[in-house]
Structures are given as structure tokens and as C-alpha cells.
Amino acid sequence: MIKILAIESSCDETAAAVVQDGTQVLSNIIFSQADLHSKYGGVVPEVASRLHIECIDTVVQEALQEANTDLEAIDAVAVTFAPGLIGSLLVGLSYAKALAFGAGKPLIGVHHIEGHICANYLNGMKPPFVCLVASGGHSHIVRVNDYRAYEILGKTRDDAAGEAFDKVARVLGLGYPGGPNIDKAAKKGVADIAFTKPNFHDGSLDFSFSGIKTAVINYVHNLEQKGLPLQVENIAASFQKTVVDILTENTFKAAKQSHIQRIALAGGVASNSDLRMRFKEKAAAEGMEFYCPEPIFCTDNAAMIGAAAYHYYKCSAFAGMDLNAKAYLPIDYNQEVL
């Protein structure tokens, strides 16, 4: 049995978990800063970094205690090193390095998007499959050919889906974080407003959410200028439906083109109830297998990092103490050049 202590601090969640054999979550502690950042309408990087410093030791100790284990019984220390807010990443990476060095344990660096994808392994899923990774900073369609083997089939050309949710929620007065608030409001509304979807004539599987976001903002401003009431729930439902339509259409098209019958969701936007339902229904209609992590494993968490790290541990793909944080790094990066 391989126990990995995993740490995640790429944005505004300080998280630590102990994962056994890549699938069994012994503990999963998350300290979220969302309430503090909500007053600013989004994450303030400097504030996030300082809060990570203040609570990371406590979060790690709680993870070990909940797992009823200690550092001596841990086989490796894993940590998110890219991509993300550089200050936040450095806090988690520096702590993990010190912990691994002091305890004489191997260090494993994990890509944040890879972590989200590997959250599906906690459900028992295995490659190959096509996965939509949608969050505040990322919107990717990834073909998972094998453990640690990824191919990007499509990605956003501008805003990520989660970023668009946050910005639309702000203009609708729904607050931060936008995704859950729009999802909640949409349940009370009717999707009766047609927002134009982007159309790439090159057959690309890429996304673009900037235009939809701008269309919603212009629609709201137009109503305000005319002194007409805002039907917030209907706008939220219409915007959400448009985004979900695009995410669903492109992902299933990618799976068909790849001749893969297994499809998965990952990332914070994967918690959206409409998206989960649409994927489940379409997969059933198409005769495909559908997987999605529990909502707690869709948000930024350390259990997903532990799930990913297990497959690095099995082939002794350890990082050196010179591993550095990177704000930007594609998931299909060449590990040899780090």
C-alpha cells in the first residue's frame, strides 16, 4: 500500500490530503478563502499567498491526523507546481520541498490540470477517455491516452468557462464565486434569451466565451439604459444553457472523432448541475460511459493531486529540489525540460 501526502495551493484553496494507492482517500482537508475574496469580486493574489502561508501547516497536520497516520508512514510528498498564481504555488511547493527533504521522502510535482483529470480515478475510471476540464482558469478537452499521457484536442481561445461565469455573475449582482450562484439562479429561471454561439469555420474543437460574456453584459446594460427590469434568473439560465451547449457539443464531438466511448468531466465547472445532467443524458443517448468526480473533488483539492502522483510514484518519476513553480504550463509539457 502506497500512501502519498498531497498538497494543493495553486489559487485560493489551501488543501492537503492523504491518498492510498491512487484511489482511496484517507483524508481531504480544504481551507477555502472564497468568503474573504468575495468582497473584491475575485481572487486577490497577494492576499491569497499570505493566507496560504498562515494556514498551510495546520491544514497538512489535519490531513495527517484525519488519515490516522504520520509523516514516517508516508511514502512520498506530492505538490501542485503548475499552473496557477505564482505566489500561491510557491507557498505549497516550498512547504512540500521542506517536508520531503526533512523527512527523507521522494518529492512528486503534479500539474494542476492533470490533478483535475485524475480526480476521476477516485471513481475507478481508467484510460483511455476524453475529458473536459473546465474551471475558472482552464477550459480544455483532453484525450487521456494512458496514465501520464495527454493530448489536447481543444481549449479556450480567450476566457475560460469559469471566468465567464464569474464575470457574468458580477454584472448580474450575484457575487463571487459566480459558478454556484449562477447555477442556483438558473434553476429558478427560463432559458428564453438567445445568445449567439461562436462558430469556428476551421472545424476546431476550441472554445470562446468572451463573446457570450460580452453579449450578456451588453444585454444587461441595454435593459438598464431603458429602465427595464432585469430578469436575473432568466438571464442566468440562458447564459448557462449557452455555455453548457458549447461544452457538451465540443466534448462529445471530440470523443467521436477520437473513437473513444468513455467521457469524463473535471474541474470546478464540473460541479454545475446542468452540465453534469447534460453530459449524463447525452452519454446515455450515445451509448457512452460517463464519469464525473463528486463535487468535493471537482473544486481545487489535494486528493486529486494524490491520485495523479501515485502513477508517478509507480515509475519513480520523482522531482528534484530544484523544481520550480510555473504560472503557465500546458498539460502535454515535456517533463524532460523542467
Whether domain 127-293 has CATH 3.10.200.10? no
Average pLDDT (40-54) is: 84
CA 277 to chain centre: 18
pLDDT of the residue at 203: 81
pLDDT of the residue at 15: 98
Report which of 242, 250, 302 is spatially closest to residue 272, judged by C-alpha positions.
242
Cα separation, 230 vs 225, in Å, equals 11
Please return the burial class of 102, using the count of CB atoms within 10 Å of its CB with bins 0-12, 13-18 and 19+.
exposed
Model pLDDT for residues 113-150, shown as the tens digit of each residue: 999 999 999 988 999 999 999 987 789 999 999 999 99
The residue that leads in pLDDT, 99 or 44, is 99
pLDDT of the residue at 335: 65
Question: Which helix (H) or strand (E) segment is 26 a member of?
Answer: strand 24-32
Domain segments of the chain as ranges: 3-118+297-337, 127-293
Which residue type, as a one-letter code, is found at position 7? I
From residue 191, give the alpha-carbon distance in Å to each of 152, 171, 195, 228. 31, 18, 10, 18
pLDDT of the residue at 196: 85
Average pLDDT (24-44) is: 83
Cell triple for residue 35?
Answer: 468568503
Report which of 161, 166, 332, 144 is spatially closest to residue 254, judged by C-alpha positions.
144
**Peptide bond just before 128 cis, omega within 30 deg:** yes
Cβ(312)–Cβ(108) below 8 Å: yes
Question: The sheet that has 139-146: what strands, in order across it?
Answer: 149-155, 139-146, 129-134, 262-266, 289-291
Report which of 215, 208, 222 is spatially closest to residue 238, judged by C-alpha positions.
215
Q: Is 309 helix (H, G, I), strand (E, B) or coil?
A: helix
Please report which confidence band the pLDDT of residue 334 belongs to, taking 50, 70 and 90 as the band edges.
Answer: low
Question: The sheet that has 76-82: what strands, in order across it?
Answer: 24-32, 13-20, 3-8, 76-82, 107-111
Average pLDDT (54-63) is: 97
pLDDT of the residue at 45: 79
Please report which confidence band the pLDDT of residue 41 belongs to, taking 50, 70 and 90 as the band edges.
Answer: confident
Q: Is 107 helix (H, G, I), strand (E, B) or coil?
A: strand
Please report which confidence band the pLDDT of residue 338 belongs to, taking 50, 70 and 90 as the band edges.
Answer: low
* HSE (side-chain half, CA atoms, 13 Å) at 5: 31
Cβ(109)–Cβ(321) below 8 Å: no
Please report which confidence band the pLDDT of residue 47 belongs to, taking 50, 70 and 90 as the band edges.
Answer: confident
- Domain 3-118+297-337: CATH architecture, name and number where available: 2-Layer Sandwich (3.30)
Q: How long a stretch of residues is the chain?
A: 338
Cell triple for residue 251?
Answer: 466534448
Q: Is 6 helix (H, G, I), strand (E, B) or coil?
A: strand
pLDDT of the residue at 33: 77
Q: Identical fold at 3-118+297-337 and 127-293? A: yes
pLDDT of the residue at 337: 52
Average pLDDT (186-197) is: 93
The region of weakest confidence among 193-197, 246-250, 251-255 is 193-197
pLDDT of the residue at 168: 95
Q: What is the pTM assigned to this prediction?
A: 0.92
Please report which confidence band the pLDDT of residue 201 belongs to, taking 50, 70 and 90 as the band edges.
Answer: confident
Which residue type, as a one-letter code, is found at position 113? I
Cell triple for residue 241?
Answer: 444553457
pLDDT of the residue at 38: 72
Average pLDDT (285-294) is: 96
User: What b/e sequence results for 247-270 when a residue is b if at least 16 CB atoms lie within 10 Å of its CB, and e otherwise?
Assistant: bbebbbbbbeebebebbbbbbbbb
